[in-house]
Amino acid sequence: MPVFIFIDHSEGHVKKASLEALSYGAALAAQLGTSAQGILLGTISSNPAELGKYGINKVFHAAQESLNRLDAQVYARLIADTVSAAGDSVVVFSHNTSGKAVAPRVAVRLKAGLVTGAVALPDTQKGFVVKKNVFSGKAFAYIAINTPFKVIGLNPNAYAIKEGTGSAQVVALTASVPPSKVNVVSVTAASGQVPLTEAELVVSGGRGLKGPENWGIVEDLARVLGAATACSRPVADAHWRPHNEHVGQTGIAIAPNLYIAIGISGAIQHLAGVNRSKVIVVINKDPEAPFFKAADYGIVGDAFEVVPKMIEAVKRLKS
Ligand SMILES: Cc1cc2nc3c(=O)[nH]c(=O)nc-3n(C[C@H](O)[C@H](O)[C@H](O)COP(=O)(O)OP(=O)(O)OC[C@H]3O[C@@H](n4cnc5c(N)ncnc54)[C@H](O)[C@@H]3O)c2cc1C
């Protein structure tokens, strides 16, 4: 039962979440005593053979430039065809935006059991049981997959990247690319900013900042740290910040290494989108703010006094 891993990339670079999925897939293959094989659709700036250092033996590569843009239906077809040719297998995706779009489609094509939001390697002692987050990270569920094909969506930041020295055999995927049912008219990429879903560091502001005119301190702290900016929902609803910065249950779910929340109360709907962050720092003038319960570090104080001091401290540290 080989393990296949979908290799997600953007602007020529394999995404960090995908490197985690490769490491996870390689460890799973070792656990099952089988091989780990990547599937790469489109082109990347480095040699795909180098992905062997994340523990995979082979990379199936469809190098057509037209595949650089994610088309979930086309991707699902190519991945399902490649996997089904190998017989019973496990397919690993990162549970990021691309994985969320493609994994369920692949599962349908393969008639596979699907578990998304996985947070650990499956228990394969008796059957195939995957641990996943449920209720916005408040509990775990253990789901047994009983179908011959199995599809897993791994939560970003749930499995550490393991880098070695190996090299992968690159096998050209020659299957013809099915015609797309989607006609993309234009693409507008956010420029000059770290994309929120990829960011290692995020500085986020809430209603405690009083108005859009005060966002300078959030942006300045983000700039000195090299972080992306985010916000709570009421802030986006009030048009203080664009909606693509809104994190939470109804916004983007993120899992950075560091999340700094400034003037955000920590409502459960906000936490649902940020509680997978590795380290959470909360700055709030109310010591009773619920966010402090989820924080690794808390600063009780006025954001307008605390944040400028933090900016100066980071500048000093960097100089
Ligand atoms: C179905 C549903 C879905 C939702 N989805 C989301 C979602 O996806 N994301 C989301 O964020 N919310 C969501 N919400 C809204 C959520 O319930 C909260 O209302 C919202 O998160 C509160 O935003 P806030 O913390 O910025 O504002 P407030 O709750 O108004 O909190 C402001 C905080 O700033 C602090 N503060 C004030 N002044 C200062 C100062 N000078 N210095 C430091 N701290 C200060 C206050 O003590 C307070 O804790 C949803 C709600 C519902 C019902």
Could you write out the DSSP letters of every residue in 79-126? HHHHHHHT-S-EEEEESSHHHHHHHHHHHHHHT-EEEEEE-S--B-SS
Distance CA 73, CA 83 (A): 15
CA angle 190, 63, 174 (to 5 degrees): 145
Among 233, 292, 305, say which to mutate for ligand 1: greatest number of ligand atoms within 8 Å of CB. Answer: 233
Could you tell me the distance, in angstroms and rounded to a whole number, from the CA of residue 133 to the centre of ligand 1?
A: 24
Residue 303 beta carbon below 6 angstroms from any ligand 1 atom: yes
Supply the pLDDT for residue 37: 98
Among 214, 243, 245, 249, say which to mutate for ligand 1: greatest number of ligand atoms within 8 Å of CB. Answer: 249
Residue 136 beta carbon below 6 angstroms from any ligand 1 atom: no
Supply the pLDDT for residue 192: 58
Per DSSP, the residues of 216-242 read HHHHHHHHHHT-EEEE-HHHHHTTSS-
Question: What's the pTM value of the predicted model, to 2 decimals?
Answer: 0.79
For each of the chain's 319 residues, which pLDDT tens digit applies?
A: 999 999 999 889 999 899 999 999 999 999 999 999 999 999 999 999 999 999 999 999 999 999 999 999 999 999 999 999 999 999 999 998 899 999 999 999 999 999 999 999 999 998 999 999 888 777 899 999 999 999 999 998 889 899 999 999 999 998 888 888 988 888 877 665 677 877 889 999 999 999 999 999 999 999 999 999 999 999 999 999 999 899 998 888 888 999 999 999 999 999 999 988 999 999 999 999 999 999 999 999 999 999 999 999 999 999 8
Could you tell me the distance, in angstroms and rounded to a whole number, from the CA of residue 312 to the centre of ligand 1?
A: 27
Residue 207 beta carbon below 6 angstroms from any ligand 1 atom: yes
Supply the pLDDT for residue 150: 98
Residue 305 beta carbon below 6 angstroms from any ligand 1 atom: no
Which tokens belong to 13? Answer: 């670079």
- The Cβ of residue 20 has, within 10 Å, a number of other Cβ atoms equal to 23
Atom of ligand 1 lying closest to residue 250 CA:
8
Residue 208 beta carbon below 6 angstroms from any ligand 1 atom: yes
- Across 130-148, b (16+ Cβ under 10 Å) vs e yields bbbbeebbeeeeebebeee
Supply the pLDDT for residue 182: 87
Where helices occur in 111-184 by DSSP H, the ranges are none
Distance CA 222, CA 125 (A): 45
- The radius of gyration of the chain from alpha carbons, rounded to an integer in Å, stands at 21
SS3 breakdown of the chain: % helix, strand, coil, rounded to 5? 35, 25, 40
Query: Are 148 and 88 a contacting pair, CB within 8 Å?
Result: yes
Supply the pLDDT for residue 191: 62
Residue 23 beta carbon below 6 angstroms from any ligand 1 atom: no
Residue 206 beta carbon below 6 angstroms from any ligand 1 atom: yes
172 pairs with which residues across the strands? Answer: 61
Atom of ligand 1 lying closest to residue 273 CA:
8
Distance CA 3, CA 128 (A): 13
Contacts 24+ apart (CB under 8 A), 130-134: 133/276
Residue 292 beta carbon below 6 angstroms from any ligand 1 atom: no
Q: What torsion, rounded to 10 degrees, do the Cα atoms 147, 151, 155, 157 define? A: 110
Nearest CA to ligand 1 atom 50: 269
